[in-house]
Chain A
Amino acid sequence: MNLQPKENRLVSPYFAFYLIHTMQVGVGVLGFQRYIAKSAGHDAWMAVITGGILIHLLVWMSYRMLKNSDGDLVAVHEDIAGKAIGGLFSTLFTIYSGFLALTVLRTYIEVIQVWMFPHINTWGISLILLCVVYYFVSGGFRIVTALAFFSLLLGTPLIFLKYFAVKDSHIYNILPLFDHSVTDFFVATKTMTLNYLGFEMLLLYYPFIKHPEKSEKWSQWGVFFSILLYTITAVESFAYYSQGQLKHTIWATLTLWKIVEFPFVERFEYIGISIWLFVVLPNICIAVWCVTRGFKRIYSLKQKHTLIPVLILIFAGTVLFKDRQQIDLLNSMVSRAGYYFIYFYIPLLFVLHWMVMKVRRRKKDA
């Protein structure tokens, strides 16, 4: 079984920036403000920053771990728990990636259904979007990376739309600072980290980066850029909406786009949602790619053989989750899994792997 991908399949280290960043920015940006404001009110924007700093730390841990194991999560698992049990844990991780893809896709479809086409069938739009996903993922990791790159190119300019809200904003809304208790702050930080989920896919695509150890700086920049984006969005939303209004606004970012007006187009949210396809696609594609790659690594299944069944399962999933409550449930389930994964599992793995490596080195020396 080939552990190391071929040279011409690798991507340059700086692409880690795009891969990490696009995976963190997805449907969450469209409406995370309400959730973090629930606990920490107008101070919640600071939770965006503290949450981000924790992510920096976790990325650092992942890199230490991956550098030592010279491979991916599957290799780390094998180092620690052996092939059988390690394989089990790796399988759980791949299933989690699959659910991540499902959540993003289903939530995006919900946005389409609520904002653009109330009458559209879930299965129809899901099928066509999965066709696009198939087209990209079957092109291999380079194509998926390229998609992440173009996603940033197309998605980032949307941040400038916030300008339209500036003249109706009251910056004093985020004052006074530190008006909430530490527990409130902690809860908001926890909620916020869920938006940063997705960087952990790094654990699987790490070997596909050329000179992966050089990519750490780019990954950290990617996380930093995500923090910047989320902070700007949060501060602007808090200044633009009153806290009471924010409580009633499910998709604060989308609602903000409603006031964008150009001489040639009004009501920018329709364009915004369409462009958002390019922001959402790399999320789904990277996650789906990780699922197929995971199965290849664990069970030596060919990626082209697993891709279609995985897409069919995701398709079935999108049809299964029907209304707002179920989608919310799916979201909170996946975020909880992600929460435990990044906050408990990665540090645990980090410590275990460090110990195993130390023991081995000692054996070698002796």
Chain B
Amino acid sequence: MPNTKLAAVAVLLFLTGCTPQKQVLEDIQLVGVVGYDYVDESTIRATVSVPTTEGGSDQAVLSSTTYSAKSHTSKNIRQVLQAESPRPFASGRVSVIIFNEELARRGITKIIDSLQRDPSVGRNIYLAVAKGKTQEMLSKEYPVGEIVPAYLKLMIEQNMELTFPRANFHHFNYSYYGKGSDPFMPLLEEKHGHIRITGVALFDHSKYVDHISFDNSFIFKLMYQSFRQGSHEFKLGKNNYLTLENLSSHVNYDIYSPNTNPKINITVDVTGKVNDAAGTPLYQAKTIEMIEKTIKKQTEHDAEKMVKRFQQKGIDPLGLGDRARSRGRRFNFKDWNQKYPDIPVQVKANIEVTQGGIVE
């Protein structure tokens, strides 16, 4: 009995010699944001933003710093970056990845592929396209009380709760690898000392081709998913605007004869409240009806225009093809893609305004 115990202890001691490589939290550089910039045909530049601390553990202050390097492959950039860093980089805490507009237009397949393979990269990280150079965007300081990686992450996250459609790395992969839909991501811009989302960057498979403005992202989201927040401004008359705050919206797709002669009806049901309608009396049933009608008209108009635009560009961020596939057996994507630009799409919006705030 004691002999076997001894042997067991010996084996354990022996085994401790072959333990995995350690990645102690304070001995690595946790990359928070990566920005990719276009340099030339074969070269890209990567900029990483890393949180750093100063002072002892009792009164440590968090700040962030950036490292930047260029190379031909995205993995090699890490080696080059390493040359100027005190500690090794670790990619497990990346929360946002930004592509420069020019790079995105030329396609991001390579970068996506290597990200997809890395087991330490999460699936709920955000991808974004930036106007201008990401290196400049990341190396600036923003007076928002957060370090750059946290700022970007929180900013994108809370917007996706509101008017921006949900789009993280998983959604990107879903459309990127799947047939019948195309990915999209937020379009960022640095303006007046802050970073802001200026629109929805639309992709054709791996290439950035078009964008819609941030104002219209609400209309896009209405069609893309059912949700419970966000608000949008509608024009009521000349110089008269009102804001509809969404309480709950539901979208439904009706696709007729997907294989032969497709026709799509999109129905959007919105229940909302109007808080801000300067000068319009909100207690009269008639006014409410009028408001509902106006909103309905505008929504349908804007939405149909938007879909038309997608069809002209040959992109499908709403995943119409994917939805059509689920409605018909033996679905053929080639046929669909040919027909896609000319498919009649009709949007029907049912608006219901329930409240006008706490005063009449």
- B-binding residues in A (CB < 8 A): 114-121, 123-125, 127-128, 131, 168, 170, 172-173, 175-176, 178-179, 241-245, 247-248, 255, 258-259, 261, 266-267
> Which residue on chain B has the smallest CB distance to residue A256?
B123
Whether A117 pairs with B177 at a CB distance below 8 angstroms is: no
> Which residue on chain B has the smallest CB distance to residue A173?
B326
CB distance from B313 to the nearest CB of A (A): 21
Whether B326 pairs with A242 at a CB distance below 8 angstroms is: no
Given A175-B326, A245-B173; 5 other pairs, CB 8 A cutoff? A124-B19, A179-B329, A179-B331, A248-B116, A258-B124
* Assembled-state Cα–Cα distance A119/B23 (Å): 12
Whether A124 pairs with B15 at a CB distance below 8 angstroms is: yes
* Assembled-state Cα–Cα distance A255/B177 (Å): 15
* Assembled-state Cα–Cα distance A284/B246 (Å): 55
Whether B123 pairs with A242 at a CB distance below 8 angstroms is: no
Closest 10 A-B residue pairs measured CB to CB?
A242-B178, A124-B18, A117-B20, A244-B177, A175-B326, A245-B177, A172-B326, A244-B178, A258-B123, A120-B20
Whether B326 pairs with A247 at a CB distance below 8 angstroms is: no
CB distance from B142 to the nearest CB of A (A): 24
A120's contact among B17, B18, B171, by CB below 8 Å, is which? B18
Q: Contacts of A115 on B, CB cut-off 8 Å?
A: 119
Whether A179 pairs with B11 at a CB distance below 8 angstroms is: no
Whether A244 pairs with B123 at a CB distance below 8 angstroms is: no
> Which residue on chain B has the smallest CB distance to residue A174?
B326
Interface size class of B (residues with CB under 8 A): 20 to 34
B334 at the interface (CB under 8 A from A): no
* Assembled-state Cα–Cα distance A124/B123 (Å): 31
B194 at the interface (CB under 8 A from A): no
Whether A258 pairs with B122 at a CB distance below 8 angstroms is: yes
Whether A121 pairs with B18 at a CB distance below 8 angstroms is: yes
Can you pick out 28 interface pairs between chain A and chain B where the beta carbons lie within 8 Å of each other? Answer: A119-B21, A121-B18, A123-B18, A124-B15, A125-B18, A128-B12, A128-B15, A131-B8, A131-B11, A170-B322, A172-B323, A175-B327, A176-B327, A176-B329, A179-B330, A179-B331, A242-B175, A243-B178, A243-B179, A245-B178, A247-B177, A258-B122, A258-B124, A259-B123, A259-B170, A261-B124, A267-B92, A267-B122
> Which residue on chain A has the smallest CB distance to residue B21?
A119
* Assembled-state Cα–Cα distance A232/B181 (Å): 25
Whether B170 pairs with A242 at a CB distance below 8 angstroms is: no
Q: Contacts of B17 on A, CB cut-off 8 Å?
A: 124
Whether A127 pairs with B177 at a CB distance below 8 angstroms is: no
Bitwise, B321-358 to A at CB < 8 A (1) or not (0) is 01100111111000000000000000000000000000
Q: Contacts of A117 on B, CB cut-off 8 Å?
A: 20-21
B174 at the interface (CB under 8 A from A): yes
* Assembled-state Cα–Cα distance A65/B113 (Å): 53
Q: Contacts of A244 on B, CB cut-off 8 Å?
A: 177-179
* Assembled-state Cα–Cα distance A114/B120 (Å): 10
> Which residue on chain A has the smallest CB distance to residue B16?
A124
* Assembled-state Cα–Cα distance A119/B327 (Å): 47
* Assembled-state Cα–Cα distance A215/B2 (Å): 40
A242's contact among B119, B174, B328, by CB below 8 Å, is which? B174
Q: Contacts of A267 on B, CB cut-off 8 Å?
A: 92, 122
Whether A259 pairs with B175 at a CB distance below 8 angstroms is: no
Q: Contacts of B327 on A, CB cut-off 8 Å?
A: 175-176
CB distance from B330 to the nearest CB of A (A): 7
> Which residue on chain B has the smallest CB distance to residue A248?
B177
Give residues of chain B (86-112) contacting chain A, Cβ–Cβ below 8 Å: 92
Task: Tell me whether A127 and B178 are in contact in the complex, defined as CB-CB below 8 angstroms, given that A172-B326, A248-B116 are known contacts.
Answer: no
> Which residue on chain B has the smallest CB distance to residue A167?
B166
CB distance from A164 to the nearest CB of B (A): 10
Whether B122 pairs with A176 at a CB distance below 8 angstroms is: no
Task: Tell me whether A120 and B323 are in contact in the complex, defined as CB-CB below 8 angstroms, given that A168-B170, A179-B330, A259-B170 are known contacts.
Answer: no
Q: Contacts of A259 on B, CB cut-off 8 Å?
A: 122-124, 170
* Assembled-state Cα–Cα distance A261/B123 (Å): 11
Whether B19 pairs with A120 at a CB distance below 8 angstroms is: yes
* Assembled-state Cα–Cα distance A258/B123 (Å): 6
Q: Contacts of B179 on A, CB cut-off 8 Å?
A: 242-244
Q: Contacts of B173 on A, CB cut-off 8 Å?
A: 245, 248
Bitwise, B149-175 to A at CB < 8 A (1) or not (0) is 000000000000000001000110111
Q: Contacts of B166 on A, CB cut-off 8 Å?
A: 168
CB distance from B200 to the nearest CB of A (A): 18
Whether A242 pairs with B177 at a CB distance below 8 angstroms is: yes
Q: Contacts of A170 on B, CB cut-off 8 Å?
A: 322
CB distance from A229 to the nearest CB of B (A): 23
CB distance from B18 to the nearest CB of A (A): 3
